[in-house]
Each structure stands twice: as C-alpha cells, then as structure tokens.
Amino acid sequence: ELKVEQNPLFLSMQEGKNYTIYCNYSTTSDRLYWYRQDPGKSLESLFVLLSNGAVKQEGRLMASLDTKARLSTLHITAAVHDLSATYFCAVGYYNTDKLIFGTGTRLQVFP
Amino acid sequence: SAVISQKPSRDICQRGTSLTIQCQVDSQVTMMFWYRQQPGQSLTLIATANQGSEATYESGFVIDKFPISRPNLTFSTLTVSNMSPEDSSIYLCSVDNTGTGTSEQYFGPGTRLTVT
C-alpha cells in the first residue's frame, strides 16, 4: 500500500527566510505532484515531477524528486506573505491514475 | 488545462437525506475522480469513475453510500446518501490529463457539505 508522509505539518516562518518541505512515499511511483490550497479554496497545481532528478522552479518555489530515496522536496526561497497556504504533495500509484495525498503542510509567513 | 465546474458549491443538509453533486469538464476526459476532504484534513480518494463502466471504489467507501454516475466523457455525479454529520466535508472532483501527455491532474472548485 502506498503511504505518503509530509513534514512538517505546520510551518511558521519569517518573511525573507528559506525553508524546505519534505514528502516521503513508501512504494514505487512514476509521478509526484505539489499542490497549493488557500483557505476555502480548491487545489492549485504547482508542479508535476515525472523522473528521477527532476527539478522545477516557479518564482520562490522549487521542487525536486529523488525516486531512489522516494523523496520529494519543496524549497521556499525568501518567503513572502503571499506564500501562506497549505501545500500538499500527492504521489501517483504506479501504473494507475490514482493519487495518494500527503498530510499537507500549513505554511504561515509573518513579517 | 481542463476547466472543471461543480454544483452545488455548498449546501447544508439534514441528516438522513441525500445530496447529488455534479461535476462538469470543458473537454472529454477518460478518468474522473472523486475526493473527500474532511475539515482540516488531507484529501482521500473515494472512487474513480470511467465512462461506460462501474466506478471503482477505494477501501472504506461503498457504492450504496456514494453512488456515482458517469454518463459521458465530460460529466459525473457523486451522491452522498443517508447523510450523517460525519459526512460534512468538501467533495472535489478531479480529472486526469494524461491523454495529452502532461500527466496533470486538475481539481474542481469543490462542494462544501455541512450535515446537521
């Protein structure tokens, strides 16, 4: 059974600081997703990572995937208040279309 | 990217009643998925809906409680039957764009259900 662990669950960080969110999964997968969710809103797709060593960047967010370690990271650079949201990783069940979601990381950026 | 709409956006229902949630996509998709997000929690997959076949349910979810229809390639419904307060959640539909080679999965805006 595929299990996805995300940490930390809650992250309070000061503007301008850097931090990393970790996503570990338990079995082989062929794709990994990062989503953002604002309070009361649906999920916004941030990144899709499809291969070992994949790295994608958008603004202050950078995601990477290490399939051998079954680990993905979401790195935040010089955080700003607008990044405050809940971030989910989701892992694709190998050879299926199903996604298993991590627990989510609630990020709060303060001045 | 796929544009997904859901109806209703929110509802307050009495226990013992049923609610049908609609999901409409602006393009034809093979796979549609229904998720539940309980308050303050992550998303849990309820079932996968393919056009022309029975939905495939995940462990802990049964057809009698969550019947699903998928009459065509752009539409699906999820019914939450005989509701109890524990069914209060956000229900989201999702579609898979693997047919385009992007492997994206897009989510609808969600239906916020409160059961009293």
Q: What is the mean pLDDT of chain A?
A: 93
| B50 touches B33 (CB < 8 A) | no
How far is it, in rounded angstroms, from Cα B65 to Cα B26? 28
Give pLDDT tens digits for A44-57: 999 999 888 899 99
Burial A26-62 (b: 16+ CB within 10 A, else e): eeebebbbbbbbeeeebbeebbbbeeeebeeeeeebb
Specify the pLDDT at position A95.
73
Average pLDDT over residues B9-26: 97
Q: Which residues of B touch A50 (CB under 8 A)?
A: 103
Residue keyed to tokens 């809940």: A86
Average pLDDT over residues A21-43: 92
Name residue A7's beta-bridge partners.
Answer: A22
Question: A10-14 and A105-110 as β-strands: parallel, antiparallel, unpaired?
Answer: parallel
**Of B42, B104, B105, Cβ closest to residue A102:** B42
Binary contact (A88, B104; C-beta < 8 A): no
How far is it, in rounded angstroms, from Cα B37 to Cα A38? 14
Contacts of A22 (CB under 8 A, 6+ apart): A6, A7, A71, A72, A73
Q: Which residues of A touch B98 (CB under 8 A)?
A: 97
| A43 touches B92 (CB < 8 A) | yes
Contacts of A41 (CB under 8 A, 6+ apart): B109, B110
Binary contact (A98, B33; C-beta < 8 A): yes
Specify the pLDDT at position B50.
85
How far is it, in rounded angstroms, from Cα A39 to Cα B106? 18
Specify the pLDDT at position A1.
81
Q: Which residues of A touch B102 (CB under 8 A)?
A: 48
